[in-house]
Amino acid sequence: MPSNTTAPPAKKKGRRARLILLVLVLALVAGVGFGGFWGVSTVRASFPQTTGEIRLDRLSGEVEVKRDANGVPQIYADNETDLFRAQGYVQAQDRFYEMDVRRHVTAGRLSEMFGEGQVETDSFLRTLGWRRVAQQEYDKVLSAETKKYLQAYAEGVNAYLKDRAPADISVEYAALALTNDYAIEPWTPVDSVAWLKAMAWDLRGNMQDEIDRSLMTSRLSASQIKQLYPEYPYALHQPIVPKGAVDEDSGKFDPKAEAGEADGATTGETPGNGPGGSDGSGQGIESQLGALSEVLDGIPALLGPNGNGIGSNSWVVSGQYTTSGKPLLANDPHLAPQLPSLWYQMGLHCRSVSATCRYDVSGYTFSGMPGVIIGHNDKIAWGLTNLGADVTDLYLERIGPDGYLVDGKVKPFTVREETIKVAGGSDRTITVRSTERGPLVSDRSSELEKVGQKAPVGNSAPDRGTGYGVSLQWTALQPGKSMDAIFAIDRAKDFTTFRAAAKNFEVPSQNLIYADTEGNIGYQSPGKIPQRTKGDGALPAPGWDSTYKWKGYIPFERLPYEFNPERGYIVTANQAVIDQKTYPDLLTKDWGYGSRSQRINDLIESKTKDGGKISPDDMRTMQTDNRSEIATLLNPLLLKIDISDPYVREAQKLLEGWDYTQEPDSAAAAYFNAVWRNVLKLAFGDKLPKELRAEGDCINVRPADATGPVDEQNKLVRECGQRDPDSAQPDGGDRWYEVVRPLLKQEKNEWWVTPGNRTDQATETRDQLLARAMKDARWELTAKLGKDVSTWSWGRLHQLTLENQTLGTAGPGAVRQLLNRGPWNLGGGEAAVDATGWNAAGGYEVIWVPSMRMVVNVGDWDKSRWINLTGASGHAFHSNYTDQTDAWAKGDLFDWAYGKAAVDAATKDTLVLKP
């Protein structure tokens, strides 16, 4: 149940996705305060009609829309275009405002809705050009069949919009009308395609790590940076595909081949070696890349904070190990908590499946996009997790008035102008310059115009002049066929057709797991993943040297896959796909570090040993496993510390006998996580540059270019963090587990050394730092939760608030109270299987979640179960707005009706759409 008592999450300065001007919020509050604006009739005007009959343009036959008690629609039609036309209509009924905001994000047109506060964000999005690439995909790349479906979907959306006033579509439009004469435009097929670019952006891989490694050079040595990005622990956490190799004769991956040492897969630049590294020449490009990082923080995170938290769990177990005798498949993507949820549940059914009407699919999709993204049809089931492939590279560019330098020659920029329309203001025109690799992102920041003024580069680098620019090369900025892949997966019937569909799933690169009614299980890693001539993408590359260019993409036939592995199960949770020492192509060096995946592997193995079987409820229980893996390493050491302060000792006693689970009511989990947060801050956070530390985190440090002892000419300065708290470092994820793991065996190490202050002695050893962290955590929780440790609980610290993604993210509390819901006290935690993520540098608030959960009972589809984070409806006061959240917070699942009889039994409302 929601907890509305203690410790509401603090409003965070600089929080992402603030999409509204203060004047709009004040006008809205004024309307509410006088009681004349937001009345019952205004709210209910936008609720959808879910019973009776509606005439719909361009339908060729009747379509039934059956909704269950949660408002989840199942659509039945006689042909494919009617099916997708109805899908567009129904999604617009429930979620059009959300769809409209999203398309303004992807097109860089937020200023048209929310005013000049969004001009900077729009400028960056226009520079990336998501919408332009989507248009190119639609015009030149996508199949005629896919375009037919997209057009039918758009027609359905527009049929809903026809003759409706904005306030009758969503109550948020009534608020916009107070300050903006905004007019809703018709939906287009490209609006749907462009959403895939936003999805790819938030799942883009290691771009933030590339920036962060460069920023670290101002404070840390090359060896220290290397310690903070340890190699993947293959001996501890098995990769997704533990066997297999590329047959160099055929060029194809063989999942049964014995792997040998690969040549060249991971060669290239390392921190401190090359552009962005430290060669003793002074400060790096930290101020310029820091500015880029601030721009990235300003872009609405539609899926969540990019980096360690973005991911998912999915696994599939063969029928030989299940109680049903058929495979069981689970999936729970970890994304930003949003209201309404990112996901939309629905079923798309041809009344009679045939060669001319091939869809009988149910699952999760996105509002604004036809088809189903994750789910099952009558033959197969599938799930997705983020592969994390390195598909972005930043390039330092030697720029001049006539162009940019490559191999000693000046090449002209590709130039275009973009006009940004601003609600309540004048139009803005920007110039976008692009190199052969991609857009010059440094043009979007006054600080970035001076990029590379102090960049430590080798003697062969060109004269820096007034500085280097920064360009971005990214696979998603090239037209692709991912939209084709979605429809092909929806109608796949076996592993062969599934893999054929996956071949076109180019961006974002995802781990695909699979099961079918014949008892087969499988895995495929698709995606457009670059092959580099030189370098490894870990740091910005020199654009003036063509040997750092991409030479192509890894052929699909070389990408790892599995089919019915001997072990009988497959787990993907953002860990390494395959051992990069044995695989010849570089996928990335920045995997998730495998804490979640190994825990799932261990749970499966423990359940199936000695002939045990896994039930659907066991799969659900695994999804809600909340054990802290770092606690298993750190807690025994904390208990050995001799604590003399009785108040700190009182808190230390909470850890005695603790089983490392992070339940909402656990005082031990609250204290341990506070200790972990303070260990990270003392050992690492206070040593990082300001560009990586959270806003408001202020410390006294030596200037970055200081030498020699501290004196009057070279004294300490006050330095405050600049990073959005959701993306600051150290975030406490499982990369930091691997950083700390070897250090815990070393009583003396440079990382344990900290300066003293007015209340604490300096530390020089591990145990001294741990003792100080325990003291700091005790007093931090005393301030947050009270003096009496018996009243502490993890859930009171670790709270989820669901925010409406526009009007609910900023402004006076009255508006947020109307549109937002919560908070909920949650268990789970960072890098736990129940991944209710929090950023240790920013606080304990939940910033990403299992955004949905599903357990698919393959072949006995009506015994599958699912749940969404919020509800089907995007209408703030509708009964289906957050009707699934309480059950989600408890880890419960709902029945997932699929067959006609089960759907009919669950149906509460039936709407008939007629030509």
- Reported as a single tens digit per residue, the pLDDT across 363-399 is 999 999 999 999 999 999 999 999 989 999 989 999 8
Q: Which candidate, 686, 693, 731, 681, places its Cα nearest to that of 845?
A: 731
Nearest alpha-carbon partner for 558 in 586, 536, 581, 538 = 586
Q: pLDDT value at position 248?
A: 87
Is residue 880 over pLDDT 50?
yes
Question: Do residues 854 and 331 lie in contact, with contact meaning Cβ atoms separated by under 8 Å?
Answer: yes
Distance CA 823, CA 889 (A): 11
Q: pTM here?
A: 0.92
pLDDT of 203 reads 76
| Least confident residue range of 459-473, 550-564, 825-839, 846-860 | 459-473
Q: Compare 32 and 665 and report the one with higher pLDDT.
A: 665
pLDDT of residue 38: 54
* CA nearest to 316, candidates 382, 378, 375, 365: 382
Task: Copy the structure tokens of residue 78.
Answer: 């006689």
Q: Measure Cα distances from 335 to 309, 396, 512, 641 in Å.
A: 8, 31, 17, 37
- Average pLDDT on 535-542 reads 87
Residue 267 pLDDT: 42
Mean pLDDT over residues 195-200, rounded? 85
Task: Work out the average pLDDT over 524-537.
Answer: 93
- How far, CA to CA in Å, does 11 sit from each of 91, 342, 345, 793, 807? 31, 22, 31, 21, 14
Most confident of 16-30, 35-49, 486-500, 707-721: 486-500
User: Shortest CA distance to 372 belongs to which of 519, 490, 535?
Assistant: 490
Average pLDDT, the chain: 88
Give me the pLDDT at residue 495, please. Answer: 98
Residues shown for the chain: 915
- Please compute the mean of the pLDDT values over residues 171-198 and round it to a whole number: 89
d(C-alpha 58, C-alpha 248), whole Å: 53
pLDDT band per the 50, 70, 90 thresholds, residue 640: very high
Confidence band for 21, pLDDT divided at 50, 70 and 90:
very low
For residue 15, is pLDDT > 50? Answer: no
pLDDT at site 844? 98
pLDDT at 420 over 50: yes
For 505-556, list the strands marked E by DSSP: 510-516, 521-524, 530-532, 541-542, 550-553
pLDDT band at 311 (very low <50, low <70, confident <90, very high): confident
Coil, strand, or helix at residue 184? coil
Residue-wise pLDDT tens digits, 112-162:
998 888 898 899 999 999 999 999 999 999 999 999 999 999 999 999 999
Are 869 and 885 contacting, i.e. CB atoms less than 8 angstroms apart?
yes
Residue 18 pLDDT: 39
Q: Which residues contact 688 (CB under 8 A, 6 or more apart)?
A: 216, 219, 220, 729, 730
Which SS3 state, helix, strand or coil, does residue 754 take? strand
Dihedral angle over CA of 761, 762, 765, 766, nearest 10:
70
For the chain, percent of residues with pLDDT exceeding 70: 85
Residues 378 and 858: beta-carbon distance below 8 Å: no
